[in-house]
Amino acid sequence: MNYVFPPSALTGVPIVAASALFPVRRVFCVGRNYADHAREMGALDQADGREPPFFFSKPGDAVVAGSGEIVVNYPPQTNNLHHEVELVVALGAGGANLAVDAANKLIFGYAVGLDLTRRDLQAKAKEKGHPWDMGKGFDHSAVLGEITPVAQCGYLERGRIWLTVNGQLKQDGDLSSMMWKIPEIIANLSTFVRLEAGDLIYTGTPAGVGPLLRGDVMTGGVDGIAGFSARMV
Ligand code: MN
């Protein structure tokens, strides 16, 4: 194939105990998937009942990944950058209109990441009924640690998820508190778009989101898989 200029390279995510990288295609995110976070965002109605999941996305090249300390650039146009620690599902196969009991087959592995959010821009967008894109989909907005293959850790349904900032525990929840479980998320999303290998799904954040500043060091983890360490510059 001939292009008028070289096509941009895919973002590669390191995999535990492997030399090959996971090539990122798209990044999907689930909104308000833990009741305690929905409450802290003032979305009480969603917290009380199980409304259908909703999704937003980030560009694939918004991912900043690594197995050592990940260096994250503080984004422009915000005075209120928030951390949201999330379990991230990495897909190794594709499919559309999947049944819930067929959805797990798409999972290549899991990682821990941050859905970084320019909360001030997101709040303004919500107020005006505008898209969330500029609050959510900026450069380095999808922080991601190493992927642990499902062959190594099994399918995750429960386990602690946490984030520390400068050594202080800020978010501390459990995967079992997700309102929409991982196979349900995959199945539902696959009715809107055909999922493909290389897609990442950020599965929502527990309570405790808050602001980050340049110089902050973040450590995120989920029981049973590799975590991440990142520094904001
Ligand atoms: Mn999120």
Q: What percent of the chain has pLDDT over 90?
A: 91
What's the structural domain count of the chain?
1
pLDDT mean across residues, the chain: 96
Q: Check: CB of residue 140 under 8 Å from CB of residue 230.
A: no
What's residue 28's pLDDT? Answer: 98
In the reported structure, the alpha carbon of residue 5 is separated from the centroid of ligand 1 by a whole-number distance in angstroms of 35
Distance CA 165, CA 160 (A): 17
Whether the pLDDT of residue 116 is over 60: the answer is yes
Q: What percent of the chain has pLDDT over 70?
A: 97
Distance CA 102, CA 180 (A): 16
What's residue 144's pLDDT? Answer: 98
State the CATH number of the domain containing residue 179. 3.90.850.10
What's residue 46's pLDDT? Answer: 53
**161 found inside a domain:** yes
In the reported structure, the alpha carbon of residue 32 is separated from the centroid of ligand 1 by a whole-number distance in angstroms of 7
Residue 114: exposure state from Cβ atoms within 10 A (0-12, 13-18, ≥19) = buried
Q: Are strands 168-174 and 160-165 parallel, antiparallel or unpaired?
A: antiparallel
Whether the pLDDT of residue 98 is over 80: the answer is yes
Q: Which secondary-structure segment (H or E) carries 192?
A: none
**87 found inside a domain:** yes
User: For 177, which DSSP code?
Assistant: G
Distance CA 203, CA 179 (A): 10
Residue 75: exposure state from Cβ atoms within 10 A (0-12, 13-18, ≥19) = middle
User: What domain range is 33 assigned to?
Assistant: 12-232
**222 found inside a domain:** yes
What's residue 37's pLDDT? Answer: 87
Q: What is the CA radius of gyration of the chain?
A: 17
What's residue 38's pLDDT? Answer: 84
**140 found inside a domain:** yes
Whether the pLDDT of residue 3 is over 80: the answer is yes
**1 found inside a domain:** no
Q: pLDDT digits over 182-203, tens only?
A: 999 999 999 999 999 999 999 9
Mean pLDDT, residues 157-162: 97
What's residue 182's pLDDT? Answer: 97
Q: pLDDT digits over 26-70, tens only?
A: 999 999 899 888 888 887 655 556 788 999 999 999 999 999 999
**127 found inside a domain:** yes
Q: Check: CB of residue 100 under 8 Å from CB of residue 184.
A: yes
Ramachandran region, residue 140 (left: φ > 0; alpha: ψ -120 to 50; beta: rest): left
Q: Check: CB of residue 218 under 8 Å from CB of residue 97.
A: no
**171 found inside a domain:** yes
Side-chain half-sphere exposure of 89, counting CA atoms within 13 A: 30
In the reported structure, the alpha carbon of residue 210 is separated from the centroid of ligand 1 by a whole-number distance in angstroms of 12
Q: Are strands 200-202 and 27-30 parallel, antiparallel or unpaired?
A: parallel
In the reported structure, the alpha carbon of residue 207 is separated from the centroid of ligand 1 by a whole-number distance in angstroms of 11
In the reported structure, the alpha carbon of residue 102 is separated from the centroid of ligand 1 by a whole-number distance in angstroms of 25
**208 found inside a domain:** yes
Distance CA 54, CA 75 (A): 25
Whether the pLDDT of residue 143 is over 90: the answer is yes
